[in-house]
Amino acid sequence: MSHSVTITRTTTSTTNTSYIVLNTGYIKTFPGILKLFQLIIGIAIVTLMAMNYNTNSVYFRGHQELFHFLMATTFMIGTFCLFLACITSLSTGGLIAKTIYELIYHSVAVILLLASSICLLLKLRDYRHDAFMAAAVLGLVNCVLYFISAFLAHRSYRGI
């Protein structure tokens, strides 16, 4: 039985210190830039939500703020871990993209962030709060970035 084999060569640049190897070439790739922007936008959402979240008024407005705050925090931490793994290892960036983990992670991120952003936007119809509105819109922007990452993960997934 014959089969074709494709061999790809990846060139990475590193900054080598005595203990830590940084794969600086990953940051220059499209998936690396996407993860960096997802992380930056996630930090912005969590910061906006944390600065304006008031536990006393949640019971009067609903739990949409808490849901969005939790989803943004969850995926910010998950993206940070993925990004850190990819830049501290020479092989992780290329290997993890070929597994189903990234496809599942980014797909779940799209669904839950979209749900939390829409819930918060629907709740914001009743009253005006600019910081929460900005956090909800940034959540939608992050959904688009996670969708692009899920699409790229789907294309590069190598199921066995």
pLDDT digits (tens, 9 = 90+) for 54-109: 766 544 566 888 999 999 999 999 999 999 988 888 777 778 877 889 999 999 99
Please say if the pLDDT value at position 4 is more than 60.
yes
* pTM of the shown model: 0.81
> Is residue 111 included in any domain, yes or no?
yes
pLDDT-derived band at 53, boundaries 50, 70, 90 = confident
> Is residue 5 included in any domain, yes or no?
no
Extract the runs of DSSP E, i.e. beta strands, from 12-143.
14-16, 21-23
Using CA atoms, how far apart are residues 12 and 91, in angstroms rounded to an integer?
Answer: 9
> Is residue 59 included in any domain, yes or no?
no
Q: Could you give the number of structural domains in the chain?
A: 1
Residue type, 42: G
